[in-house]
């Protein structure tokens, strides 16, 4: 007995002393078994695993009882079940929870919310029998006009990295792997299938790769999706530097890679360049791959490595039994509640001269603007969600107003721009009868009849809530916005409304920033309301009526005008666009082109380049460094209370810096504040942005309550990518620590040396 105890104690000691396995290393624990499986497989069986089986699955090894891999879009809701060509199968149990979109989640600045979001997606993924969620989408929001800016998280790599890590952990803890997308530098939709991003190594590492690196190394992401575009001359799906040298060798990635849909371009290039699965089709990773091995061009071990990486994920993610999957509705009360909580924390109060929260004297509200009634779950292509339900802003306001005995009237105010049939004006929907509420272009002026109706309602109400912004036909995958102007004459409408009734608040419903130089003059209060999930309308009404204090903070800068933003100011964006590759392929296929003709067509498309010469100066890094004015700064967001920040105290350990201070809620209601810590390196010998975010924390405080907040970050996070040694280097010297409520409102500072 004694001997057993001693052995057990020794084993426990040995275990506690054993170096902890990284999340990526944990993926390799079944490698011995996996290798035995590979040894039993034929080349044909192996290659069968390396391309799509259906639009959303790839094959397992049926002979050996290994299940297929089932994929689902992401990132804001498990996508409805589709057949070939993404046609809905019309199932009844596949309505999912529509979660707030990327920039809305990021506006919570909450690691807890990101974890819960991932967990809830993972949970719903299991209900649908899925193994991999195609998300989170974590590219940097480089361009205000970017079609997928709303899907992505932030212009800041540190904010995006923290949230990506948590989303990844949450989803994988719930049993569904993530597929980080789009790796890498898919920052524009214009020519996304062919554009060559020309970027220097330092900018790439410090800005664009950061969220991916963190989600792989800390989050343990099991799958990565190479993007459509090229980076420095090579398609991402065959980019040896990105997929092999950085992802696998440097970051220790042990999982699998799957090309974006239609984003594979060669057999040998992709095989050697680090791609595991061709999605979709098998023209490169089917017979051609078998032939390449058989004729000696490619070593079979390259194929084996891919199979091993796929099987690691297969072993880590337990397949959902067929008779368990899809037996209950995908969206569940538990996950709906998470979407609701995220929405409550994401709403940003940009400006308030006193019209919010809605005054108790207000007995009649005129809600004006089509964005109050448009649903936002579907549309935008891959990220659209067949939601179980969706509370629109108007419905949320009506329900809350009814409780308070307040009357609500509504008018559309302006026409809406909507793409017909998803094909704009060219496709199958062209020529369909036009709805009188639908505009022909985003720059159509205000409609006189709609305007007059809205003004009459405004005059007769105690308060006006104007809903402006964009919609999912304007901000969408596959194309970038032409500009960031408010569409369909919204500027005229807001001016007329304000003149009719200045007791007015504006709510912007959009995923990215808009040019609000005119709107701002006529809006005593402005709220950024996002595309905020199935409970978005409920959460918004709570903020407007003052049941909860707004607490979201901008994850990107609202520039004064588009031309001020870095890529435009440097003349780096605004190239001529050809049709989006993915929609182009779909269209050609539908019009009878053969696979060969499609390939030839694509091969002859113009070869555009995008030069990232603004370098590290993305988003607020540009505006701060250039001292350029903005409309609303990165990190900005007001509350219904004020907060008081105490002086900073600093503790420096060998590997990290901790900064503590007191934070007091000066108001009389519960409210959250997001405290932000930025770093400036005043004596630096290398080029740097004026300041960079390093840490942040969302803190909940009751009215009058004070808490001590500690923000910390590893000193290694201060490293820059050194172009000479091709590695990370921490430059010694003075470090200024700046703590504040937004990037342009620093309240306390302290200095140290490293
Ligand atoms: C998008 C991906 C998406 C995939 C599958 C592509 O067009 O870029 O984000 O996951 O389609 O729907």
Asked whether residue 713 is assigned to any structural domain, the reply reads yes
Q: Which residue has the tokens 């409304």?
A: 497
CA 274–ligand 1 middle distance (angstroms): 19
Record the tokens describing residue 221, joined without a space: 């992401």
Asked whether residue 623 is assigned to any structural domain, the reply reads no
Q: Would strands 438-439 and 69-73 be described as parallel, antiparallel, or unpaired?
A: unpaired
Q: Can you tell me whether residue 21 is helix, strand or coil?
A: coil
Q: Which of 641, 637, 646, 635 is nearest to 707 (CA)?
A: 646
Record the tokens describing residue 473, joined without a space: 């036909």
Band of residue 20 on the pLDDT scale cut at 50, 70, 90: confident
Record the tokens describing residue 402, joined without a space: 């009814």
CA 83–ligand 1 middle distance (angstroms): 15
Phi/psi at 727 (nearest 5 deg)? -165, 175
* Atom 12 of ligand 1, nearest CA residue: 382
Rounded to whole angstroms, the Cα distance separating 226 from 257 reads 7
Q: What is the pLDDT of residue 575?
A: 59
pLDDT at 227 over 70: yes
Q: What is the pLDDT of residues 401-441, one digit of tens each?
A: 999 999 999 999 999 998 754 433 444 444 555 688 999 88
Testing ligand 1's pocket by substitution, the residue of 70, 381, 478, 479 carrying the most ligand atoms inside 8 A of its CB is 381
Q: Which atom of ligand 1 is nearest to the CA of 74?
A: 10
* Atom 6 of ligand 1, nearest CA residue: 261
Spatial contact of 193 and 229, defined as CB atoms under 8 Å apart: yes
749 beta partners = 738
Q: Which atom of ligand 1 is nearest to the CA of 382?
A: 12
State whether 312 and 364 are in the same domain: no
Q: Which atom of ligand 1 is nearest to the CA of 182?
A: 9
Q: Which residue has the tokens 């996996």?
A: 34
Rounded to whole angstroms, the Cα distance separating 493 from 368 reads 9
Asked whether residue 705 is assigned to any structural domain, the reply reads yes
DSSP 592-645: T--HHHHHHHHHTS---EEE-TTTT--THHHHHHTT---SB-TT--B-SS-EEE
Residues 6+ apart with CB under 8 A from 93: 326, 327, 328, 329, 330
Asked whether residue 9 is assigned to any structural domain, the reply reads no
439 beta partners = 417
DSSP 253-264: --SEEB--TT--
Spatial contact of 528 and 107, defined as CB atoms under 8 Å apart: yes
Rounded to whole angstroms, the Cα distance separating 441 from 417 reads 6
State whether 459 and 526 are in the same domain: yes
DSSP 644-695: EEPPPEEEE-SSEEEEEEEEEE-SSS-EEEEEEEEEE-TT-SS---S-EEEE
Testing ligand 1's pocket by substitution, the residue of 263, 382, 384, 477 carrying the most ligand atoms inside 8 A of its CB is 382
Testing ligand 1's pocket by substitution, the residue of 130, 228, 385, 477 carrying the most ligand atoms inside 8 A of its CB is 477
**337-341, 380-384, 489-493, 573-577: least confidently modelled range:** 573-577
Domain closes at, from 534, 556, 578: 556
pLDDT at 2 over 50: no
Rounded to whole angstroms, the Cα distance separating 80 from 326 reads 11
Q: Which of 439, 437, 418, 442 is nearest to 429 (CA)?
A: 418
Q: Which atom of ligand 1 is nearest to the CA of 151?
A: 9
Q: Can you tell me whether residue 35 is helix, strand or coil?
A: helix
State whether 295 and 348 are in the same domain: no
CA 57–ligand 1 middle distance (angstroms): 13
Rounded to whole angstroms, the Cα distance separating 78 from 75 reads 7
Q: Can you tell me whether residue 722 is helix, strand or coil?
A: strand
Rounded to whole angstroms, the Cα distance separating 675 from 699 reads 8
Q: What is the pLDDT of residue 560?
A: 98
Q: Which atom of ligand 1 is nearest to the CA of 79?
A: 12
- Give the strands of the sheet with 734-742, arranged side by side: 692-701, 671-680, 734-742, 745-753
For range 258-266, the mean pLDDT: 97
Rounded to whole angstroms, the Cα distance separating 463 from 393 reads 16
CA 381–ligand 1 middle distance (angstroms): 8
Spatial contact of 728 and 745, defined as CB atoms under 8 Å apart: no
Mean pLDDT of the chain: 94
Rounded to whole angstroms, the Cα distance separating 86 from 386 reads 13
Asked whether residue 561 is assigned to any structural domain, the reply reads no
State whether 360 and 502 are in the same domain: yes
Rg, C-alpha atoms of the chain? 26
CA 81–ligand 1 middle distance (angstroms): 15
pLDDT at 541 over 80: yes
Distance of CA 445 to the CA centre of its chain: 32
Domain closes at, from 526, 556, 586: 556
Record the tokens describing residue 47, joined without a space: 């290659």
State whether 439 and 366 are in the same domain: yes
Q: Which atom of ligand 1 is nearest to the CA of 582?
A: 7
pLDDT at 28 over 70: yes
Cis ω on the peptide bond leading into residue 103 (within 30° of 0)?
Answer: no
Q: What is the pLDDT of residue 576?
A: 54
Q: What is the pLDDT of residue 18?
A: 62
Asked whether residue 680 is assigned to any structural domain, the reply reads yes
Q: Which of 149, 163, 161 is nearest to 210 (CA)?
A: 161
Band of residue 16 on the pLDDT scale cut at 50, 70, 90: low
- Better-predicted residue by pLDDT, 583 or 181: 181
CA 25–ligand 1 middle distance (angstroms): 28
Domain closes at, from 504, 536, 556: 556
pLDDT at 86 over 60: yes
Q: What is the pLDDT of residue 432?
A: 55
Q: Which atom of ligand 1 is nearest to the CA of 227?
A: 8
Q: What is the pLDDT of residues 596-628, one digit of tens each?
A: 888 888 777 767 899 999 999 999 999 999 999
Q: What is the pLDDT of residue 618?
A: 98
pLDDT at 643 over 90: yes
State whether 686 and 726 are in the same domain: yes
**β strands within 68-137, DSSP E:** 69-73, 132-134
For range 185-190, the mean pLDDT: 95
- Give the strands of the sheet with 57-58, arranged side by side: 52-54, 57-58, 69-73, 132-134, 177-183, 223-226, 256-257
pLDDT at 13 over 70: no
Q: What angle do CA 353, 356, 361 make, to 5 degrees?
A: 115
Band of residue 535 on the pLDDT scale cut at 50, 70, 90: very high
State whether 280 and 354 are in the same domain: no
CA 226–ligand 1 middle distance (angstroms): 11
Testing ligand 1's pocket by substitution, the residue of 58, 76, 134 carrying the most ligand atoms inside 8 A of its CB is 134
Q: What is the pLDDT of residue 577?
A: 55
**9-18, 131-140, 549-558, 581-590: least confidently modelled range:** 9-18
Quick one: DSSP state of residue 51?
A: B
State whether 542 and 670 are in the same domain: no
Q: Which of 325, 331, 319 is nearest to 132 (CA)?
A: 319
Q: For residue 466, what is the domain's CATH number? A: 3.40.50.1700
Residues with CB under 6 Å of ligand 1 are: 73, 134, 181, 260-261, 382, 477, 582
Q: What is the pLDDT of residue 74?
A: 86
CA 251–ligand 1 middle distance (angstroms): 24
Q: What angle do CA 224, 697, 215 make, to 5 degrees?
A: 10
Q: What angle do CA 327, 328, 330 make, to 5 degrees?
A: 120
State whether 452 and 538 are in the same domain: yes
Q: What is the pLDDT of residue 426?
A: 41
Rounded to whole angstroms, the Cα distance separating 356 from 542 reads 11
Q: For residue 665, what is the domain's CATH number? A: 2.60.40.10
pLDDT at 522 over 90: yes
Q: What is the pLDDT of residue 4?
A: 43
Asked whether residue 586 is assigned to any structural domain, the reply reads no
Q: What is the pLDDT of residue 119?
A: 98
* Atom 9 of ligand 1, nearest CA residue: 382
Asked whether residue 614 is assigned to any structural domain, the reply reads no
Record the tokens describing residue 578, joined without a space: 């050809």
Which residue range forms the structural domain that includes residue 236? Answer: 24-84+94-316
Q: Would strands 671-680 and 692-701 be described as parallel, antiparallel, or unpaired?
A: antiparallel
Q: Indicate whether this model's pTM tops 0.75.
A: yes
Which phi-psi region, left, alpha or beta, contains residue 191 (left: φ > 0; alpha: ψ -120 to 50)?
left
- Give the count of domains, the chain: 3
State whether 389 and 296 are in the same domain: no
CA 195–ligand 1 middle distance (angstroms): 17
For range 60-75, the mean pLDDT: 96
SS3 content of the chain, % helix, strand, coil (to 5): 35, 20, 45
Record the tokens describing residue 214, joined without a space: 């963190």
State whether 265 and 134 are in the same domain: yes
pLDDT at 9 over 60: no
Record the tokens describing residue 36, joined without a space: 């035995």
Q: Which atom of ligand 1 is nearest to the CA of 179?
A: 10
CB atoms within 10 A of CB 517: 14
Residues 6+ apart with CB under 8 A from 653: none
Distance of CA 646 to the CA centre of its chain: 34
Q: Can you tell me whether residue 302 is helix, strand or coil?
A: helix
- Better-predicted residue by pLDDT, 74 or 702: 702
State whether 312 and 344 are in the same domain: no
CA 56–ligand 1 middle distance (angstroms): 10
Q: What is the pLDDT of residues 650-707, one digit of tens each?
A: 999 999 999 999 999 999 999 999 999 999 999 999 999 999 999 999 999 999 999 9
Q: For residue 129, what is the domain's CATH number? A: 3.20.20.300
Residues marked active site are found at: 260
Spatial contact of 30 and 314, defined as CB atoms under 8 Å apart: no
């Amino acid at each position: 007995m004694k001997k057993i105890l001693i052995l057990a104690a020794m084993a426990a000691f040995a275990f506690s002393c054993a170096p902890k396995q990284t999340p990526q290393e944990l993926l390799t624990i079944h490698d011995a078994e996996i290798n035995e499986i590979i040894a039993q497989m034929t080349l044909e069986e192996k290659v069968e695993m390396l391309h799509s089986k259906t639009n959303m699955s790839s094959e397992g090894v049926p002979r050996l009882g290994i299940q297929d891999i089932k994929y689902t879009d992401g990132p804001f809701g498990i996508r409805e079940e589709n057949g070939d060509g993404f046609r809905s199968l019309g199932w009844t149990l596949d309505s999912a929870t529509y979660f707030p979109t990327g920039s809305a989640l990021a506006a919570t600045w909450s690691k807890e919310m990101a974890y819960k979001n991932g967990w809830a997606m993972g949970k719903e993924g299991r209900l649908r029998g899925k193994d991999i969620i195609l998300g989170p989408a974590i590219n940097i929001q480089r361009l205000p006009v970017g079609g997928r800016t709303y899907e992505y998280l932030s212009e800041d790599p540190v904010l995006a990295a923290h949230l990506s890590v948590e989303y990844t952990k949450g989803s994988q803890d719930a049993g569904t792997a993530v597929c980080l997308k789009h790796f890498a530098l898919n920052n524009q939709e214009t020519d996304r299938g062919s554009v060559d991003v020309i970027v220097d190594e330092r900018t790439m590492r410090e800005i664009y790769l950061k969220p991916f690196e963190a989600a792989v190394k800390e989050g343990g992401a099991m799958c990565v999706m190479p993007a459509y575009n090229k980076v420095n001359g090579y398609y991402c799906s065959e980019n040896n530097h990105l997929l092999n040298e950085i992802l696998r060798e440097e970051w220790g990635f042990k999982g699998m890679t799957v090309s974006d849909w239609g984003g594979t371009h060669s057999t040998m290039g992709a095989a050697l360049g680090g791609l595991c699965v061709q999605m979709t089709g098998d023209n490169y990773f089917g017979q051609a791959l078998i032939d390449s091995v058989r004729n000696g061009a490619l070593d079979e071990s390259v194929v084996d490595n891919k199979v091993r990486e796929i099987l690691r994920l297969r072993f880590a993610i337990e397949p959902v039994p067929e008779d368990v999957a899809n037996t209950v509705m995908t969206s569940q009360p538990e996950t709906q509640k998470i979407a609701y909580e995220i929405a409550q924390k994401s709403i940003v109060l940009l400006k308030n001269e006193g019209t919010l929260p809605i005054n108790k004297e207000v007995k009649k509200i005129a809600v004006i603007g089509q964005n109050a009634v448009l649903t936002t779950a579907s549309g935008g292509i891959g990220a659209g969600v067949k939601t179980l339900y969706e509370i629109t802003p108007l419905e949320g306001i009506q329900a809350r107003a009814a409780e308070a005995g307040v009357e609500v009237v509504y008018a559309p105010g302006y026409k809406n721009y909507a793409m017909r049939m998803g094909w704009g004006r060219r496709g199958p929907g062209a020529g369909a009868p036009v709805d009188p509420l639908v505009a022909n272009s985003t720059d159509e002026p205000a409609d006189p009849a709609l305007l007059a109706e809205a003004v009459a309602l405004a005059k007769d109400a105690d308060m006006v809530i104007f809903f402006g912004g964009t919609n999912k036909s304007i901000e969408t995958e596959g194309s970038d916005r032409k500009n960031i102007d408010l569409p369909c004459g919204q500027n005229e409408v807001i001016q007329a409304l304000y003149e009719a009734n200045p007791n007015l608040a504006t709510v912007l419903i959009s995923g990215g920033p808009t040019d609000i130089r005119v709107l701002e003059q006529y809006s005593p209060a402005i709220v950024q309301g996002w595309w905020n999930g199935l409970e978005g309308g409920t959460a918004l009404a709570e903020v407007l009526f003052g049941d909860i204090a707004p607490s979201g903070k901008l994850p990107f800068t609202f520039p004064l005008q588009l031309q001020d933003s870095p890529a435009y100011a440097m003349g780096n964006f605004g190239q001529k666009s050809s049709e989006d590759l993915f929609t182009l392929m779909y269209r050609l296929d539908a019009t009878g082109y053969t696979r060969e003709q499609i390939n030839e067509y694509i091969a002859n498309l113009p070869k555009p380049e995008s030069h990232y010469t603004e370098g590290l100066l993305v988003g607020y890094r540009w505006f701060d460094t250039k001292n350029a004015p903005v409309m609303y700064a990165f990190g900005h967001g007001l509350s219904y209370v004020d907060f008081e920040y105490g002086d900073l105290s600093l503790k420096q350990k060998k590997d990290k810096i901790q900064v503590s201070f007191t934070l007091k809620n000066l108001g009389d209601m519960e409210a959250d504040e997001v405290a932000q810590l930025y770093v400036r390196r005043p004596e630096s010998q290398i080029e740097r942005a004026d300041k960079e975010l390093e840490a942040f924390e969302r803190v909940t405080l009751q009215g009058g309550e004070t808490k001590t907040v500690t923000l910390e970050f590893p000193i290694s996070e201060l490293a820059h990518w050194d172009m000479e040694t091709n590695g990370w280097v921490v430059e010694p010297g003075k470090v200024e620590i700046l703590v504040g409520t937004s990037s342009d409102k620093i309240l306390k500072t302290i200095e140290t040396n490293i």
